[in-house]
Chains A and B, each alone.
Chain A
């Protein structure tokens, strides 16, 4: 249908866009090995020195620990609440179902600053002091949506006749869940958890409003870039963060056969219900 030159032009354009998307990420990875403390191009030499130094930095360690803790807790909370909500929305027809399924996506659809700002004034209003828990609450609001969408998508693709067959054969509700439903949705749960963790591990905007004086890893990076300090360490941390967030996402998409629901799909799914 398309003429030969149109095809060539489109191919060139596609390659251009791919380069545009990936060159910056590749560059940031190269800079992690920069021997100089000055971040100029081309880098004068290659070293692994900064990896050791960054690992020894107590501030980075503390921030990493806080990020992992917050990520794990938010993910755990999201797994429980998100999958329960998905079951309810999938199995039952009730008044207000559509409103609920739409409202659940708000944390992803509204700009992060709204979520962050409103949680901040909520904590201030109730005189809650900032702690690990306020970070977890902030992260859980959007992690729940990720788990919810992944589980709901899987439930929709799963035929309910399997569960009915189990019940007809005399399995109790709990047995049916344990032996039939759970194995069917387990990969969706893992995928949802991995995506939720990746999202939490990388979150900046909501976290700045709910962390108070604490530093998660992204907040530490944010502060260091702003002040232009310790850039060699920033390079290393950024490199590691890219690895930590991309690896779970790749695994998640393998588990769901490429259909892991991230942000784009999450909002799309809300419109379908």
Chain B
């Protein structure tokens, strides 16, 4: 006990006694501090997640749409056997993978420039410039692309300028691919940059001394060392695409439904919450597998 605490103890008073008690029993302070937040988190968030998992094994009454607490695997069976849902799941995963690869390709040279070519000042400015769009409202950025890909939008106007035929990308899977790649790109750039920045220049000097040319050094030294960063970025691009339903709804066409869209319509319109829950578990399961793989590639050390 410090002198101060002793003095307070002597002064007495309820506050002093409580303070002294809390001082002697650190676990009580820890519990007081962590308690409310943790209670909130467990009672609301974790309970909801568990409930979601449980609901997936229930069903609804087809006439009243009331939830019946009968344990069964029908929801999951439908997911696997019904071709429509299989297609939607594959489309979601496929597009998430395509977006991830696109972002990795776009981000790597940029991050390389940031980490190894740009001056310190430019580096800081670029860092801020990459993060800023992330905060510029998700919907605003999706909407911007609706305006661009529009029949009378900037894209066709530019194509006309250079005498190319107009492209009607609006409301297609291509549009979704572009918009997702655009929106999540900063999430790929930042971890890739972080990984590249940590490579000691001496490694490259060693490679050069041993006779490796630029291309060889990039391929054999830089890329393997940057890989954990790229994988870390891919966790974001992949997971965020996987769980999205707003972009497919706004820029996708008739055949562009994502897992999220089916979940959304099953909650809102069809009122089949058990089925929506079962479907919502698919991205979680896919992400769990993905994270296991990412851990092996050292992505968590790179973040």
**Residues of A in contact with B (beta carbons under 8 Å apart):** 1-3, 6-7, 9-11, 13-14, 17-18, 20-22, 24-25, 27-28, 31, 38-42, 80-82, 84-85, 87-89, 91-92, 94, 100, 103-104, 106-107, 109-115, 117-122, 124-125, 137, 140-141, 144, 148, 167-174, 198, 202, 204-205, 208-209, 218, 221-222, 225-226, 234, 238, 241-242, 245-246, 249-250, 253, 258, 262-264, 267-268, 271
In the assembled complex, which residues on chain A have CB atoms less than 8 Å from the CB atom of B277?
A: 117, 121
Interface string of B219-256 (1 = CB under 8 A from A): 00000000000001001100110111110011000000
B128, CB-defined interface residue at 8 Å: yes
In the assembled complex, which residues on chain B have CB atoms less than 8 Å from the CB atom of A246?
A: 132, 135-136
**Pairwise interchain contact A24-B182, C-beta atoms closer than 8 A:** yes
**Pairwise interchain contact B147-A31, C-beta atoms closer than 8 A:** yes
In the assembled complex, which residues on chain B have CB atoms less than 8 Å from the CB atom of A17?
A: 106-107, 110, 185, 189
Can you name 27 A-B pairs with beta carbons within 8 Å? Answer: A10-B109, A13-B113, A14-B114, A22-B133, A24-B141, A25-B140, A40-B150, A81-B40, A84-B36, A89-B34, A100-B38, A106-B45, A111-B287, A113-B264, A117-B276, A120-B267, A122-B48, A140-B40, A169-B4, A172-B8, A218-B137, A238-B140, A241-B137, A258-B128, A264-B191, A264-B236, A268-B191
Complex CA gap A115/B260 in Å reads: 12
Interchain nearest-CB distance for B160 vs A (Å): 10
**Pairwise interchain contact B26-A92, C-beta atoms closer than 8 A:** yes
In the assembled complex, which residues on chain A have CB atoms less than 8 Å from the CB atom of B131?
A: 253, 262
In the assembled complex, which residues on chain B have CB atoms less than 8 Å from the CB atom of A40?
A: 150, 152-153
B208, CB-defined interface residue at 8 Å: yes
In the assembled complex, which residues on chain B have CB atoms less than 8 Å from the CB atom of A249?
A: 132, 135
In the assembled complex, which residues on chain B have CB atoms less than 8 Å from the CB atom of A124?
A: 273
Contact of B30 among A88, A170, A245 (CB under 8 A): A88
Main secondary structure of the interface of B (DSSP, over half): helix
Complex CA gap A218/B277 in Å reads: 25
In the assembled complex, which residues on chain B have CB atoms less than 8 Å from the CB atom of A117?
A: 52, 263, 267, 276-277, 280
Complex CA gap A38/B151 in Å reads: 12
**Pairwise interchain contact B283-A28, C-beta atoms closer than 8 A:** no
Complex CA gap A82/B33 in Å reads: 10
Number of interface residues of B (CB under 8 A): 108
In the assembled complex, which residues on chain A have CB atoms less than 8 Å from the CB atom of B189?
A: 17
Known: A10-B113, A39-B153, A225-B139. 12 other contacts (CB 8 A): A2-B214, A10-B109, A10-B117, A17-B106, A27-B144, A118-B52, A144-B37, A167-B4, A218-B139, A245-B135, A267-B303, A268-B303
**Residues of B in contact with A (beta carbons under 8 Å apart):** 2-5, 7-8, 16, 19, 22-23, 26-27, 29-30, 33-34, 36-38, 40-41, 44-49, 51-52, 55, 106-107, 109-110, 112-114, 116-118, 124, 126-148, 150, 152-154, 157, 182, 185-187, 189-191, 201, 204-205, 208, 214, 232, 235-236, 239-240, 242-246, 249-250, 259-260, 263-264, 267, 273, 276-277, 280, 283-284, 287, 300-301, 303
